[in-house]
Structure 1
Amino acid sequence: MGKDKIKFKEKLAYATVNFGNIPIMTIINGYLLIFYTNICGLSPAACATLFLIARILDGLNDPLVGFVIDHLPNTKFGHFRPTLIVGTILCSANFLLLWFGPMMAPSGKLAIAYVSYILLGVLFPVMDISLNSLLPVMTEDMNERNSLSSVKGLAYVVGALIVGVAAPLILGDTSNKDGYIKLILITVAVIFFCSIIGTLGVKERIKPQKEKSYTIKQLFQILGQKPVYITFLVILLYTIGSNIVSAVNTYYYTYVLGNLSWSAILTLVMCITIFPATMIVTKFIGKYGKKKMYAIGLAIAGLTPLMRLIDVRSIPILIISALITGIGSGFAAPLNYGIQADNTDYIEMKMGIRAEGAVASLSSFISKCAMGIGGAIPGYMLQVAGFNATAEVQTQNVINVIIFCLIILPAIINVVGIIIFAKGYPLTKEKLAEQTRILQERHSADKAE
């Protein structure tokens, strides 16, 4: 291992491939609902039903995709990199259909939306699961893994921030058809270039062992491991909350603040704290452990927005909230996938199998369900409140729903998730050290044979 340390160039490639994964769901979560209502003329309730049904249905195929990927033969190019490239190509093509299909069709817009949205759920996991399976096979050195986890988290933070700044500036207005066309074409170019270039620059060092491949029955046993199901439950809750916010944010900037540009400005404001927090979290992990720092990050990011209830139109409060929230996001983001990698090691220690694709696919399935639920809730509530896509000014009922979905409901959901993780996740700093020692001894014994 000492002769094959991960160098800066490979870390940069790993950051690039993760960056290429960001725009797909970031753009969809932030703009698809308002695009379908304001550009395609679909009702919020119809969109909500689409998001809910399609996400849950397409999520069901994720464990199967992970199972297939884990059982594909190894190649000279690696185990997960070939499927990552194939997934990128197919997903990029379908991403174009998802937006341009309903927009250009003279009729059958909702049907096209259903087909392309369900196809997204079939194709995106090929790309996403392959990517999220890379971290455990790039290195088993815990320091390098923590470093890669920080690189991945930083890439996701930077990617989300860049998209958060660029998208509203490119779009200009939530009812601007030409702006959407430009935004989607630029997004696909970024996805394609970054994902493929980044994939070519990383290396898989830990080879999956065919004799230890898992069965369908073991797939369900994996889900029954405590670190796995606790993590997935927290991901479910936190992703529901964050997707509710993402779906309703554009409505907030459009109809409450009256200026979509504030979305880009506030994203830039978060950079002031989110980058330093991401950089220093590794040091805190070494002292306090991943579990404590992840819980702290979730608490800061999830509860700070409550201060905006003092005055939902106050720009100074909005800025202060963004600055503090950035600290929490900077702490939590790098740890998401590091914890998943630790869970993969836990499965190997307890069950004797490597199941990177299983953990990544089950995580993707949970996230899909959460995205469906989180995206549907604002749609249904806006419909009940009487949202009118043609009106420049919405009723007070609509404004109240926007504020409730933006601030109050996500905070309630996040509190539940934080408590579950803090009380239930078993892999403390000490237990992780022991787990790493056991696996390293086991791997050394296997090599000696």
Structure 2
Amino acid sequence: MASAPQSPDAHRVPGRMVLAYGAPAIGAGYMYLLLGLYVMKFSTDVLLIAPAVMGLIFSASRIWDAVSDPLVGYLSDRTRSRWGRRRTWLVASIVPIAGAFIMVFAPPDALEGGALIAWMAVAIIGFYSAMTVFFVPHLSLGAELSTNYHERSRLFGMRHAFYTFGAILSLVSFYFLIQAEQQGPEQARGLALQLAVGTSLVMSALIVFAGIQLREPAEYQGRIDANPFKAFKDVWHNPHARLLIVVTFIEHIGSAAIGVLTLYVAQYVVGAPGLAPLFILCYMVPSTISVPLWIPLSRRFGKVRLWMFSMLLTGVSFGAMFALPFIDSLLAKSIYISVAAVFAGLAAGAGGTISPSVQGDVIDYDEYVTGERKEGSYFAAWNFVHKGGMGVMLLLTGFVLQFVGFVPNVPQTMTVQIAMVTLYGLFPLVCYLIGAALFSRFSLDEQAHGEIRRELDRRNAASRAAGDAAPGAA
């Protein structure tokens, strides 16, 4: 095979560095799940803010992402520091992440109406902005720690497993938050604040640990054009990146519906809000424990084929959720959604492991064409469309729920239930089918990447032989 020289041990990253790279994802997974799955419900059912208003807030945060994501990506690429381009930004994200996350769950009791809405808008937009400062450099660093086609899957597989493990830990918090809601809004507010403070402290410690343990390739610094518009023009003109941008946007419109509506479906369709953590657990556990399975399978069948398979399996698994309102028994509904969640979780394990690894390969193609290393600009683009898809879905969900007559904390009509499972099941199915069809055109497989990698290695060897000529050429 053309890429045979890239053996599994080539450019292998030490285990301690793989663990250090993945560690902050535990806190990130916890925070994102708590915000993505609970804040909409917390805002509508505890703070009594209209769903459409919350949809507008989340959409506004995505509009701001159109500025913040590319800015952080480009500035991260341009950073020069003895700490490296990425670790500097990781450490800088600690205080804003902690402050904004606590703010989301700590609106003063005296606030109401427009003042409360303004508080939540600042908190939510601030949190996602702070997470951009962390996520874009962190993803970029993963692509830089190894140039090996399959070793990147190991790095990003560990990151995905840790991220999902953090999400699993948050299920305990979900259980207690749901119980607190039954006791009243004051209890829910108090518990949410305690959890936010504790999580922020842990996340800060994990980022510091990663910053101390990880080492960046110094030769990547200074290898990007001074013109930011050229950097993002290169991203769009990269045919492989352009296809991934479109596929990622479509895919994450569908996955966002899953995140936003799980608690609503558990309470208002299944009729068992207390089982929501169990349903999520049925999704998260297979997603985490299947990572060691997907890495060797990607070697056998190829990363591109495996990612396409994960899209199809995810779409079918969630498409099956449309049947939930038509099942009479609570037990039957619970078993049905749990089984579907297991299959969706298995698919998510493949997607979470393979997709950023493929994105790293696309960045190598950019270096092959331009001679630059701009992981930050690329992952900023993908991070933006990821969040953009979620923003579109949050806006759509808020307006659909309000349009069909959703009323919080009461039994819902069949019309509302069907609207929920349409967004939760059929819509993701359509999105993933379209995404898989488009991704079938992706051509940067292992053989093509191996040829690119060998040419880049040849260039780098020539630059090292030339000594000080390399920085001038960059």
With over 3 angstroms needed to count, the CA separation of the structure-2 counterparts of 1:442 and 1:197, relative to structure 1, is same
Shift of 1:95: 1.4
Q: Please point out which of 412, 417, 421 is paired with 2:435.
A: 417
Shift of 1:214: 5.1
**2:368 paired residue number:** 349
With over 3 angstroms needed to count, the CA separation of the structure-2 counterparts of 1:251 and 1:8, relative to structure 1, is same
Judge which range, 221-230 or 165-174, deviates more. 165-174
With over 3 angstroms needed to count, the CA separation of the structure-2 counterparts of 1:52 and 1:102, relative to structure 1, is farther
Instruction: Among all aligned residue pairs of Structure 1 and Structure 2, give the percentage whose two residues are the same amino acid.
Output: 20
Contact in 2 for aligned 1:170/1:182 (Cα 8 Å):
no
d(CA) in 2 for partners of 1:183, 1:436 = 45
TM-score, with normalisation over the residues of structure 1? 0.92
**1:117 paired residue number:** 124
With over 3 angstroms needed to count, the CA separation of the structure-2 counterparts of 1:267 and 1:47, relative to structure 1, is closer
Note if 1:337 corresponds to 2:349: no
Matches within 5 A, 1:260-299: 260-270=273-283, 273-299=286-312
Shift of 1:417: 1.1
d(CA) in 2 for partners of 1:310, 1:118 = 35
**1:32 paired residue number:** 39
What secondary structure does 1:78 align onto?
Answer: coil
Shift of 1:212: 4.1
What secondary structure does 1:207 align onto?
Answer: helix
**2:422 paired residue number:** 404
With over 3 angstroms needed to count, the CA separation of the structure-2 counterparts of 1:211 and 1:181, relative to structure 1, is closer
Matches within 5 A, 1:81-92: 81-92=87-98
With over 3 angstroms needed to count, the CA separation of the structure-2 counterparts of 1:297 and 1:89, relative to structure 1, is same
What secondary structure does 1:345 align onto?
Answer: helix
Shift of 1:229: 1.3
d(CA) in 2 for partners of 1:236, 1:307 = 22
Q: Please point out which of 152, 175, 178 is paired with 2:159.
A: 152
Cα RMSD between the aligned structures?
A: 2.2
Shift of 1:155: 1.9
Note if 1:95 corresponds to 2:95: no
With over 3 angstroms needed to count, the CA separation of the structure-2 counterparts of 1:59 and 1:92, relative to structure 1, is farther
Contact in 1 for aligned 2:29/2:166 (Cα 8 Å):
yes
**2:400 paired residue number:** 381
Shift of 1:102: 6.4
Q: Please point out which of 137, 140, 159 is paired with 1:133.
A: 140
Amino acid at match of 1:85: V
TM-score, with normalisation over the residues of structure 2? 0.88
Matches within 5 A, 1:185-224: 185-210=197-222, 212-213=224-225, 215-218=227-230, 219-224=232-237
d(CA) in 2 for partners of 1:329, 1:418 = 14
Note if 1:78 corresponds to 2:91: no
Judge which range, 288-297 or 220-229, deviates more. 220-229
**2:48 paired residue number:** 41
With over 3 angstroms needed to count, the CA separation of the structure-2 counterparts of 1:200 and 1:408, relative to structure 1, is same
With over 3 angstroms needed to count, the CA separation of the structure-2 counterparts of 1:272 and 1:62, relative to structure 1, is closer
d(CA) in 2 for partners of 1:146, 1:36 = 37
Shift of 1:153: 2.3
Contact in 2 for aligned 1:18/1:131 (Cα 8 Å):
no
Judge which range, 300-309 or 377-386, deviates more. 300-309
With over 3 angstroms needed to count, the CA separation of the structure-2 counterparts of 1:235 and 1:368, relative to structure 1, is same
Q: Deviations over 1:57-79 (max 9, x none)?
A: 2332211121111112131x222
Alignment gaps of 5+ in structure 2: 1-8, 328-332, 467-474
d(CA) in 1 for partners of 2:215, 2:63 = 33
Shift of 1:211: 5.0
d(CA) in 2 for partners of 1:381, 1:197 = 43
Judge which range, 270-279 or 29-38, deviates more. 270-279
Contact in 1 for aligned 2:243/2:439 (Cα 8 Å):
yes
With over 3 angstroms needed to count, the CA separation of the structure-2 counterparts of 1:208 and 1:400, relative to structure 1, is same
**2:448 paired residue number:** 431
Judge which range, 439-448 or 139-148, deviates more. 139-148
Contact in 1 for aligned 2:220/2:373 (Cα 8 Å):
yes
**2:250 paired residue number:** 237
**2:469 paired residue number:** none
With over 3 angstroms needed to count, the CA separation of the structure-2 counterparts of 1:245 and 1:143, relative to structure 1, is closer
Q: Deviations over 1:75-134 (max 9, x none)?
A: 1x2221011111122121111112313665245111122222232343221111111111
Q: Deviations over 1:347-402 (max 9, x none)?
A: 1011111001101111121122112112111111111111222x432222222221
Shift of 1:191: 2.2
Note if 1:167 corresponds to 2:180: no
Alignment gaps of 5+ in structure 1: none
d(CA) in 1 for partners of 2:146, 2:463 = 17
d(CA) in 1 for partners of 2:126, 2:324 = 42
**1:184 paired residue number:** 196
Amino acid at match of 1:426: S
With over 3 angstroms needed to count, the CA separation of the structure-2 counterparts of 1:392 and 1:372, relative to structure 1, is same
**2:272 paired residue number:** 259
Q: Deviations over 1:230-258 (max 9, x none)?
A: 11111111111111111111111122223
d(CA) in 1 for partners of 2:358, 2:25 = 17
Q: Deviations over 1:405-426 (max 9, x none)?
A: 1111111111111111112x22
d(CA) in 2 for partners of 1:301, 1:290 = 16
With over 3 angstroms needed to count, the CA separation of the structure-2 counterparts of 1:110 and 1:210, relative to structure 1, is same
**1:61 paired residue number:** 68
With over 3 angstroms needed to count, the CA separation of the structure-2 counterparts of 1:276 and 1:43, relative to structure 1, is closer
What secondary structure does 1:408 align onto?
Answer: helix
Contact in 1 for aligned 2:318/2:425 (Cα 8 Å):
yes
Shift of 1:269: 2.9
Contact in 2 for aligned 1:298/1:418 (Cα 8 Å):
yes
d(CA) in 2 for partners of 1:430, 1:24 = 38
d(CA) in 2 for partners of 1:133, 1:291 = 20
